Amino acid sequence: MRMLMTYGRGRAEQFRLHPTPGSALNFIPPGFCVYLASLFFVPWLGRWWLLPLAFYTAAVVLQAGVLALQGGGLNGLLALPLIVLTHCLYGVGFWRGLLTELKPPGKREPVPVALERVPVQA
């Protein structure tokens, strides 16, 4: 989960430093997060407001079905909530990257890395 949020944040920071028209697709997951939040806060918008959610649900179910048919079986269907979670975490990370201060590489906090020691067998 942390990796997905960091990926979204990094993509937003990259966009802030080097915006291109090709970056437009990166705004779909953060826009989807705003849309999902609006479903809780503005229910008076009517039933038409649920139409994008219906299309999204159909696309995710179709993707899970394709995964299941490609040999994943039950795992393909169990991936359904993970697909949604991936989009949401990327979107939240993207917003974080858009709205936080950009720090030069030398001023960023170091990310701790844990190295694993594997015993060598002779």
Tokens, residue 116: 């694993």
Per the listing, tokens 């705003």 go with: 34
Q: What is the pLDDT of residues 38-85, one digit of tens each?
A: 888 776 677 778 888 899 999 999 988 888 888 777 877 788 888 899
Indicate yes or no: pTM above 0.95.
no
Q: Which amino acid is at 105?
A: P
Alpha-carbon gap, residue 97 to 113, rounded angstroms? 22
